[in-house]
Structure 1
């Protein structure tokens, strides 16, 4: 593959969650849910997982079909009994949204997450893991996330995508919609059957970032990395002038200015802005063969 290399510059902060230790006793349950979707292109499925994988696949139906492998583990029978009693999932369907989340012992929805300090501070005696396999109508929009012990996979979904992980990789296949995909520790790979129909954002702190677009792509690519390079095999990629943004902060000792340097490449005649960022890994913008 013919590659073009462009220099990079950035700085990032690191976030890490430690995985939980293995447990001696275990309870398993398979959960199935079904939701009617009268207008998939206008609706959003949100999944807020914490421990475990999430796999979402598009199909030609008009329902969201959810399979969850639930596992609770503990050191002893008392801890396992507490986990079986306390742990609960939540399911909301209202307006244009279907939301699946952990409801107890704390709420994993973003606007509720910071309210459950009691769980973080007390000595809880069990762990839990949820592995999702979900089928959705092709055109549905997604907002799906997990944190530990799982991969994220989205395929054959043509709506807009928001896909998040922390300690694991993300793979998106056969997409079309505008995309936000972010992980901390893992590779991020995306493949499109047509160029995204809106601005898109791709980020991994520690991992390779690889996005494949159709050969007729026209876009502006903005990129940052500290310990990696930017590579593309698009012959019509041309570097644009460096953009410097000055941020001003007032302190008691005086005014501090921070300069953020942004590097950009135009592919074809330009168009939507696609942002790529990593710290420890290369960025690859590839052309479908």
Structure 2
């Protein structure tokens, strides 16, 4: 008479059966899964815009959508753009569009040069000195299931005025420009260093940092919704600062300042603090160009350079 299986034998047999079934049938779902897996494409970017395509009056505009940008002003004549293009999406979404449909392109305006990301579902045109995006998407939402990111490094002749922006996917950095900068981000920080000329920097979700190596000679406009703003200036900084924050204060370690008596002053960590309900100015040093600082949720810091 055959002995009944004990518990250990039963467990071992159950494991053997499960393993056998996995070997027999487990491959099918894996193959099906692979069919729906994402495809990834990566390519280097190398664009050169010769000096003959612009002049000293030209405003250089670089408009990214997804991806960080690092811009450096240099003493050369051409505009040089390098970086990486990344495209990803489920395999079936590559049937209609491919990686070649996403690329860096350029158009010229009256006194502007625009470099931007060309995408298949948007029509782009220049009117005067403005770049207009217009969606030509029909009702096929699958068009938008391809994800794209352009990580860019840019060298710009430092004497040009530049307007640099991105929306998602990283930080925007600018360094060494001499004729001013406009920098825009939506979901990311803005870092500006060694800058001269007028400065405008705006983001929604991110911090803004601006480092003036010399006394600013033109106005500065800084705005974030959710984040802090930090300005570093020379020890002899002279400016007329207007500050407004719904939920935040302005802090500074400068002492040669004057302000209206209706402001509240307090001390925090050895720095003067100003809680200002209006946009009345604070004079730093002898006064000078305006520095407008606007926040919704965050603090502002104006600090002396340590160098």
**What's the secondary structure of 2:188's corresponding residue?**
coil
Kept in 1: contact 2:93–2:146 (CA 8 A): no
TM-score normalised per structure 1: 0.78
Structure 1 unaligned spans of 5+: 1-22, 244-259
Rounded to whole Å, the distance in 1 between the matches of 2:261 and 2:224 is 25
Equivalent residue in structure 1 for 2:198, among 169, 178, 183: 178
* Residue number in structure 1 paired with 2:215: 195
1:60–1:153: structure 2 CA closer, same or farther, 3 Å change rule? same
- 2:137 equivalent to 1:123: no
Structure 1 residue 77 displacement after superposition: 4.7
How many pairs were matched up? 250
**What's the secondary structure of 1:123's corresponding residue?**
helix
**40-49 vs 227-236, greater mean Cα deviation:** 40-49
* Residue number in structure 2 paired with 1:97: 112
Rounded to whole Å, the distance in 1 between the matches of 2:123 and 2:67 is 16
Higher-helix-fraction structure: 2
**What's the secondary structure of 1:224's corresponding residue?**
strand
TM-superposition CA deviations, 1:245-278 (whole Å, max 9, x none): xxxxxxxxxxxxxxx9323201112121110011
1:67–1:242: structure 2 CA closer, same or farther, 3 Å change rule? farther
Bigger relative contact order, structure 1 or 2 (CA pairs below 8 A, ≥6 apart) = 1
Rounded to whole Å, the distance in 1 between the matches of 2:206 and 2:138 is 27
Q: How does 1:1-289 map to 2 (within 5 A)?
A: 24-37=38-51, 41-79=56-94, 82-93=97-108, 96-105=111-120, 106-107=122-123, 111-113=131-133, 115-116=134-135, 118=137, 122-124=141-143, 125-240=145-260, 261-289=278-306
TM-score normalised per structure 2: 0.74
Which structure has the bigger radius of gyration? Answer: 2
Kept in 2: contact 1:240–1:266 (CA 8 A): no
Structure 1 residue 177 displacement after superposition: 1.4
Higher-strand-fraction structure: 1
Kept in 2: contact 1:27–1:80 (CA 8 A): no
1:127–1:197: structure 2 CA closer, same or farther, 3 Å change rule? same
Rounded to whole Å, the distance in 2 between the matches of 1:162 and 1:121 is 35
